[in-house]
Amino acid sequence: MSVDRNIIEIKNASYVYRGNSEDRQDVLALDDVSLSVRQGEFLAVLGRNGSGKSTLAKLMNALILPASGTVVVNGIDTSNEEMLWEIRSSTGMVFQNPDNQIVGTVVEEDVAFGPENLGVPPKEIRARVDEALEMIGMSEFKKHAPHQLSGGQKQRVAIAGILAMRPKCIVLDEATAMLDPVGRKEVMRILRRLNSEDGITIVHITHHMDEAGMADRVLVIDEGKCVMLGTPGKVFSDVERIKSLGLDVPQVTELMYELNKSGFGFPTDVLTVDEAVKRLKAYLGGE
């Protein structure tokens, strides 16, 4: 995928939630954050509760503006109010609770909502809705009522609603957190396909380390600061640092780490069971 430019460019951004009384003090939620999200990449964002992940996501969609510093999305400064729809259609957001994102009584109506608001002509909307439902594998559900769908299907419909706006980037704020393992898998499969086949940039905030392991890069934020950024193999191999930030590493990485503590010398950038099996076999075979 093309990675020759940045779809989101955050420079020295800070954000403060203002307290309105003596017992509610100001909270510095983001503290001098700089981050470039490359066009076409899959970026996972990790951080303990209250570290600033959702605040960062909201900056990427002009839902909030930085108190200082700049955020540029698809070449447009998010402080440019006249370009708000442009920004929101180039970077769509999916949130945690699928039920809060349903706006239509029928799936196809729900998906049409975004392009309708953009003023897309009806004929074109029809084509976009069909295309978006096809992309998430839910064409046969277009006449269904959204509330009858599973959590994973509802999140896929939410993603289709964004796809119908032809975005360059999708930002997901713990969109898999309320899903069962099957729903989570469905959504991850769709995200990976949209990323690899359609070149859509994905920013995926998650508490699931296995999902982060699938990303091109992992960003860790803590107390409003970007504290780690790199490939999953690199970030997760620093097991002690990850743990000190209140996070876990994928289970197989943990296994390698524990084996190494007992004197083995396995590589620490192992992220999947398949890789772990390969390394263990090689080790045993080499004995």
Ligand X SMILES: Nc1ncnc2c1ncn2[C@@H]1O[C@H](COP(=O)(O)OP(=O)(O)OP(=O)(O)O)[C@@H](O)[C@H]1O
> What contacts 124, CB < 8 A, 6 or more positions away?
115
Of residues 54-113, which lie at the interface with ligand X (CB under 6 A)?
54-55
Of residues 223-282, which lie at the interface with ligand X (CB under 6 A)?
none
DSSP-derived letter for residue 24 is B
Q: Is 54 in the site for Mg ion (CB under 5 A)?
A: yes
Q: Which does 83 bind (CB under 5 to 8 A by kind): Mg ion, ligand X, none?
A: none
Pairing outcome for strands 217-222 and 91-94: unpaired
> How far is the C-alpha of 125 from the C-alpha of 201, rounded, in Å?
23
**Selected binder of ligand X within 13, 33, 39, 51 (CB under 6 A):** 51
Nearer to ligand X, 2 or 21 (CB): 21
Neighbours of 4 (CB within 10 A): 8
> How far is the C-alpha of 72 from the C-alpha of 86, rounded, in Å?
12
Nearer to ligand X, 158 or 270 (CB): 158
In this structure, what token pair is assigned to residue 86? 């442009």
Q: Is 51 in the site for Mg ion (CB under 5 A)?
A: no
3 state DSSP class of 73: strand
Nearer to ligand X, 132 or 175 (CB): 175
Q: Is 55 in the site for Mg ion (CB under 5 A)?
A: no
In this structure, what token pair is assigned to residue 244? 């000190």
The binding track of 1-30 with respect to ligand X, each residue x by CB under 6 A or -, is: ----------------x---------x-x-
> Which residue reads 């640092």 in tokens?
241
Nearer to ligand X, 51 or 90 (CB): 51
Length of the chain: 287
The binding track of 8-47 with respect to Mg ion, each residue x by CB under 5 A or -, is: ----------------------------------------
Q: What is the CA radius of gyration of the chain?
A: 20
> Of 79, 82, 78, 102, which is closest to residue 155 (Cα–Cα)?
102
Of residues 133-172, which lie at the interface with Mg ion (CB under 5 A)?
none
In this structure, what token pair is assigned to residue 35? 């981050």
Task: Determine the size of the site formed for ligand X (CB under 6 A).
Answer: 11
Q: Is 190 in the site for ligand X (CB under 6 A)?
A: no
Nearer to ligand X, 49 or 262 (CB): 49
Choices 46-54, 111-119, 121-129, 251-259; region in contact with ligand X by CB under 6 A: 46-54
> How far is the C-alpha of 199 from the C-alpha of 165, rounded, in Å?
15
Q: Which does 153 bind (CB under 5 to 8 A by kind): Mg ion, ligand X, none?
A: none
C-beta of residue 95 within 8 angstroms of C-beta of residue 88: no
Residues that bind ligand X (CB under 6 A): 17, 27, 29, 47, 49-55
Residues that bind Mg ion (CB under 5 A): 53-54
